[in-house]
Amino acid sequence: MSVVLKFGGSSVADATCVRRVAEIVRGAAPRSPVVALSAMGKTTDALFAAAQVAERGETEAALKALREIVLKHKKTCAELWEGEPPVDLQQFIDALSTQIDMLLRGVALLRELSPRSRDAIVSFGELLSSQIVAAYLHSRGVSTAWLDVRRVMRTDARFGGAEPQTKDIASLARTELVPLMGAGRVVVTQGYIGSTNEGLTTTLGRGGSDYSASLLGAAILAAEVQIWTDVEGILTADPRMVPEATPIIELSFREAAELAAFGAKVLHPATIQPAVDANIPVTVRHTMRPEGRFSTITAKGGTGSPRPATAIASRSPIQVITIESTRMLAQSGFLGRIFDVFGRLGVSVDVVATAEVSVSLTVEENAPIEAIRKELGAFAHVSVAADRALVALVGERLKHTPGLAARVFGAMATINVEMISMGSNEINLSLVVERKDEAAAVRLLHQALFGNGEAK
């Protein structure tokens, strides 16, 4: 049975990292690995920035930014090979940079950056990193095949956040990917990027390489999808907010999906679904500590654990919309009318709390507030609070833990909680606080629920 290994941007950031990745991949070689790579370090950000500069018509500045990106990759190559990298790798890098150079010039000339051109430009990052890693593995004597994932990762044409076509991906994987695989042989390919039926380059949205990995895993029915990153798995909270957060050894698909959706950046929110559908375990591991702890996500993972909660995630900025109507009491279709408005405007709602005469719900920062106000204002009073944060406590056992709400409220004694909601699947308890209180709320909750180690 095969395995998919995905390495994130920080895992391939420089020559030292790439060497580490090569060792991990070499170790996995007997398991017919498919390696999906992100762009190196901040390359994708830099490509987005170059495209934006080009859009302003600043050709020279955009091309300079591109030269810097190319130079960084060439420096990494020089370090990896301690001198001249293989000629075909150099040729690949040069040919690709000429293409991106032309694209940037085109954008600058027209001063127009379509999502379609942007995807073509940013795909450069993954194409480069995967070529470098494949060439390096090959020179270390590992039998390696490089695959342009656009031959397999079929998507629709929603550039910038394309929808994968799983049936097509499964059949293309059979013809394009599986024949390259074998025990002792490594297939190296890209995360994040895909292609439409017409051969146009697309991307799956920022952070989408995790999603690519699980889509590939599902397509080849891999035994495991490994997400290699810069932390020892999914932690009980974002380590940048809670430095004492610890890895969760086992968690369920539902918990991981919920954490990702509520802001835990460690996994792209869509990652889990293909793995759930194919019942493939996903592990999250630390590239610099391959022998260390890691998280395993499975259908039933952690459900037998007595921990009252599994982890805390948070997301900001969000906005809270409160809709009030004294007529609501008597109207059975009131909620229907409200959601009809959100549905028609294509606005996704994350958390809802209802009271007798009012409904509060949370939407993204960029939701079309004026349009929402106008439509809802026709039959109710609408108020909007911006700069809010959503803090979510996630765990399969939340609903089975008596006194949990008291502990949560106790922890929030000094914080003004504006809204509270227990998800309908009952594995998440969400709070809305002012954005300035987000970090404190997460820390206090973590202290109250995980401080003594019982929930690990």
Identify what 311 binds: ligand ASP, Mg ion, ligand ADP, none; CB under 5 to 8 Å per kind: ligand ADP
| Token pair listed for 409 | 């409220």
Identify what 191 binds: Mg ion, ligand ASP, ligand ADP, none; CB under 5 to 8 Å per kind: ligand ASP
Backbone angles phi, psi at 431, to 5 degrees: -125, 145
Cα–Cα distance, 134 to 397 (Å, whole number): 44
Find the binder of ligand ADP among 235, 359, 367, 427 (CB under 6 A).
Answer: 235
Per-residue exposure over 133-172, b if at least 16 CB sit within 10 Å of its own CB, e if not: bbbbbbeeebebbbbebbbbbbbeeebebbebbbeebbeb
Backbone angles phi, psi at 215, to 5 degrees: -65, -45
Closer residue to ligand ASP, CB minimum distance, 228 or 450: 228
- Interface with Mg ion (CB under 5 A), residue total 2
Measured from each CB, the residue nearest to Mg ion is: 207
Instruction: Please report how close the Cβ of residue 268 comes to Mg ion at its closest, in angstroms.
Output: 6
For residue 86, CA distances in Å to 58, 144, 187 come to 34, 15, 19
| Spatial CB neighbours of 169, under 8 Å, sequence gap ≥ 6 | 152, 153, 154, 215, 216, 219
Which of positions 247-276 make contact with ligand ADP (CB under 6 A)?
A: 264-266
Identify what 269 binds: ligand ADP, Mg ion, ligand ASP, none; CB under 5 to 8 Å per kind: none
Closer residue to ligand ASP, CB minimum distance, 192 or 342: 192
Our finding on whether 41 is near ligand ADP (CB under 6 A) is no
Which of positions 114-173 make contact with ligand ASP (CB under 6 A)?
A: 125
Instruction: Please report how close the Cβ of residue 292 comes to ligand ASP at its closest, in angstroms.
Output: 22
Closer residue to Mg ion, CB minimum distance, 8 or 247: 8
H helix runs in 225-333, sequence order: 253-261, 272-278
For residue 129, CA distances in Å to 99, 385, 422 come to 16, 43, 42
- Residue 296's nearest CA partner among 339, 343, 250 is 250
Instruction: Please report how close the Cβ of residue 209 comes to ligand ASP at its closest, in angstroms.
Output: 3
Instruction: Please report how close the Cβ of residue 88 comes to ligand ASP at its closest, in angstroms.
Output: 24
Cα–Cα distance, 446 to 228 (Å, whole number): 25
Our finding on whether 15 is near ligand ADP (CB under 6 A) is no
Strands of the 224-229 sheet, one edge to the other: 143-146, 185-190, 33-37, 3-7, 224-229, 282-286, 295-298, 250-252
Closer residue to ligand ASP, CB minimum distance, 208 or 395: 208
Dihedral class, residue 102 (left if φ above 0, else alpha if ψ from -120 to 50, else beta):
alpha
Which of positions 178-237 make contact with Mg ion (CB under 5 A)?
A: 207
Closer residue to ligand ASP, CB minimum distance, 8 or 85: 8
Identify what 423 binds: ligand ASP, ligand ADP, Mg ion, none; CB under 5 to 8 Å per kind: none
Convert residues 8-47 into a mask of x (bound to Mg ion by CB under 5 A) and - (unbound): x---------------------------------------
Cα–Cα distance, 75 to 323 (Å, whole number): 57
Amino acid at site 296: T
Cα–Cα distance, 388 to 232 (Å, whole number): 30
CB 53 within 8 A of CB 65: yes
Identify what 164 binds: ligand ASP, Mg ion, ligand ADP, none; CB under 5 to 8 Å per kind: none
Which of positions 27-46 make contact with ligand ASP (CB under 6 A)?
A: 38-39, 44
| Token pair listed for 169 | 């991906």
Measured from each CB, the residue nearest to ligand ADP is: 8
Which of positions 177-206 make contact with ligand ASP (CB under 6 A)?
A: 191-192, 206
| Token pair listed for 340 | 């009809």
Instruction: Please report how close the Cβ of residue 275 comes to ligand ADP at its closest, in angstroms.
Output: 16
Tell me the CA end-to-end span of the chain in Å, nearest whole number.
31
Helices 124-139, 15-28: crossing angle, 10 deg rounding: 60
Residues that bind ligand ASP (CB under 6 A): 8-9, 38-39, 44, 125, 191-192, 206-209
Residues that bind ligand ADP (CB under 6 A): 8-11, 38, 207, 229-231, 234-235, 237-240, 264-266, 311
Residues that bind Mg ion (CB under 5 A): 8, 207
